[in-house]
Amino acid sequence: MWINSMLTIWLSGMIFSVSLFTFLLWKFYGIEEE
Amino acid sequence: MVSTWLWIQFTLFMLIMVGVSIYAARKTKTMEDFAISGASLGPYVLGLSLAATLFSAATFMGYPGYSYAWGFSNLWLYLAIFISAPLGFITIAKTVHKQNDFQNSLSLPDWLGDYYNSDFLRVGSGLIMLFNLFYIAAQFSAGAQIFQNMLGVNYLTGLIAIAVIVVGYVYVGGSYADVYTDAVQAVMMAVTGLIVFVSGIIFFGDGSITSTLKNVSDNLAQQDGKLLEVFNPDSNYYAFSAVIGLLIIQFSFSAQPQLFNKVLSLKRRRDLRKMIIVYIVAAAMCLFVLFGGLYARVAVPGLEAADLALLEYVAWGFPAFLAAFVAVVILAAALSTTDGLFVVMSTVFANDIFKKVLVKRNIIKVKEENVDKIALKISRIAVLGVGVVAALLVLNPPSFLADLMWVGISGVSAGTLGPIMYAVFGKKKASPRAAEGSMIIGMTAYLIIVFTGIESSPLAAGGWATLIGIISMFVLANIFKRPVEA
């Protein structure tokens, strides 16, 4: 097996965080009028 | 051979730094220029600067060393940095930038002092920043050791060289020099992270990522089963609680003054998103270097100094010019963190204490038209002073500086994140007494946790103290009512 427990956590964490950043940045940091 | 390449590349690198600094010096005319680049910079250069400032020599020496010593469990560190630091920026950046439209603050202590209308908070948090002397000293020492190990120069000469280089370019170019050199350094660091990650796929997996991970896992399992454990009992990540502490301290990096002032330096608020995305991409690439420690454990097991794992690994497998490049990048990482710290520490003396307290309260009488000029002069003298003191701290290479470095980072976070978080999430502005109380409680909590040794992980210790600082802020804000402003 190429994947171990820690790698699974790491990969899941990366996918989760990228999704979270995308959501937060587009919800709260959309282009605003200046 | 490596050392010849190193001399050539280092000279080239220095020439680029000198060029950038001369350009920056021309733009530095006021105290605002020196502290936050005249609040005039764009998102790409600042996103890269955030990454370069956050990632130091520790990222390229100490962190692969952790992977080498503790195996896969060090990926907790990757995750904690990757997830928490951007979350911190996303949480506070917009409010901080928006508020600065009215405040025009030049640093973190300045921003807090202006927001809560408290000079005690301004000077107190400014003085807490002085703990960062240890942070600078740690980077100086790491740089000097690179000079010593790779170039054969003695430690003291290396120390003087690195101190003169940073002091020189921050002295002339202030924040502009800090940010522009950071951008160059961040690109070098990100490329190195990627090169190191890919190198293992070539050496251990014949071009296949899955074979690489399988071969590395099998090899580490044979050496020591604990290297594959999720919570390696020998590591900083011995239990889930330690990981939570780590996540909190990484989150609080957004309250580090050398990163906070990058948010203040951004010209247009609508560019914050771009700035944070650039940071995230650069961070993910830089952090790949943590895999270098795992590869090193396969390639060169049995090293006495885990900190040298990455350098030993590149010396083992990389062509000479590439091994030299990695050493130059570690120097760049040390410089790019140190220069940001220099800028904020000199701003503490020149702006936060001299201009905003001593002159404003008429303790020192200066003609108004001369204040900014004198402040700029003070900031430059402070750069020299800080450089000399930091170098003196590490005249002999100390063995405990990595831990001392965390005193600076954690002390600042524990003392300042509470008031910042309340500014973002509080329903109304809190009393200055609440913010001052949170600063004192957070800082004291950190010192107690460290000196009683309740928490063995130095990173998690800062996390818990920061949490105490935040909780006490929200409690105190409900106890002390804000005086009615005229």
How far is residue B94's CA from residue B23's CA, in Å, rounded to a whole number?
30
Of A6, A7, A31, the CB nearest to B270: A31
Q: Dihedral sign, CA of B141, B182, B247, B348?
A: positive
pLDDT at A33: 46
Of B72, B87, B276, the CB nearest to A6: B72
The DSSP 8-state label assigned to residue B117 in this structure reads: T
Find where tokens 């690195």 sit.
B162
Longest dimension (CA), chain A: 53
Residue in chain A nearest B94 by alpha carbon: A29
How many contacts, defined by CB atoms under 8 Å, are there between A and B? 69
β-pair partners for B41? B266
- Asked if pLDDT for residue A13 goes beyond 90, the answer is yes
Asked whether the beta carbons of residue A25 and residue B213 sit closer than 8 angstroms, the reply is no
Chain B positions touching A26 (Cβ under 8 A) are: 273
Chain A positions touching B273 (Cβ under 8 A) are: 25-26, 29-30
Average pLDDT of chain A is 88
Cα-to-chain-centroid distance, residue B470: 21
Chosen from A1, A3, A4 to mutate, greatest number of chain B CBs within 10 A: A4
Over chain B (486 residues), what is each successive 10-residue block's mean pLDDT?
Answer: 82 89 88 87 94 88 92 95 94 90 90 93 90 87 84 90 89 88 93 96 94 95 94 89 88 86 91 95 96 96 89 93 90 87 90 90 87 90 93 80 72 91 90 95 92 82 92 94 65
Count of CA atoms in the C-beta half-sphere (13 A) of B400: 4
Chain A positions touching B270 (Cβ under 8 A) are: 31-32, 34
How far is residue B83's CA from residue B78's CA, in Å, rounded to a whole number?
8
Asked whether the beta carbons of residue B214 and residue A1 sit closer than 8 angstroms, the reply is yes
pLDDT at A31: 65
Asked whether the beta carbons of residue A9 and residue B210 sit closer than 8 angstroms, the reply is no
Would you state the structure tokens that stand for residue B284, as one six-digit string?
A: 């993910």
pLDDT at B484: 62
Assign A10 to helix, strand or coil. helix
Contacts of residue B27, defined as CB under 8 A and 6 or more positions apart, other chains included, come to B33, B37, B38, B173, B176
How large is the ipTM?
Answer: 0.94
pTM: 0.91
> DSSP E strands: which ranges in B45-164?
none
Asked whether the beta carbons of residue A13 and residue B272 sit closer than 8 angstroms, the reply is no
CB contact A27 to B (< 8 Å): no
Chosen from B70, B83, B214 to mutate, greatest number of chain A CBs within 10 A: B83
Count of CA atoms in the C-beta half-sphere (13 A) of B483: 7
Find where tokens 């800090």 sit.
B178
How far is residue B417's CA from residue B126's CA, in Å, rounded to a whole number?
14
Query: What distance in Å separates residue A12's CA from the closest CA in chain B?
Result: 10
Chain B positions touching A3 (Cβ under 8 A) are: 213
Of A2, A7, A29, the CB nearest to B94: A29
Chain A positions touching B272 (Cβ under 8 A) are: 29
Residue in chain B nearest A12 by alpha carbon: B79
CB contact A9 to B (< 8 Å): yes
Asked whether the beta carbons of residue B210 and residue A32 sit closer than 8 angstroms, the reply is no
Asked whether the beta carbons of residue B217 and residue A4 sit closer than 8 angstroms, the reply is yes
Distances (CA, A) of A12 to A19, B133, B330, B399: 11, 38, 30, 36
- B5 vs A12 pLDDT, higher one: A12
Chain B positions touching A4 (Cβ under 8 A) are: 72, 217, 228
Chain B positions touching A19 (Cβ under 8 A) are: none
Query: What distance in Å separates residue B73's CA from the closest CA in chain A?
Result: 6
pLDDT at B403: 66
Contact B140, B58 (CB under 8 A): no
Would you state the structure tokens that stand for residue B45, as one six-digit string?
A: 């250069």
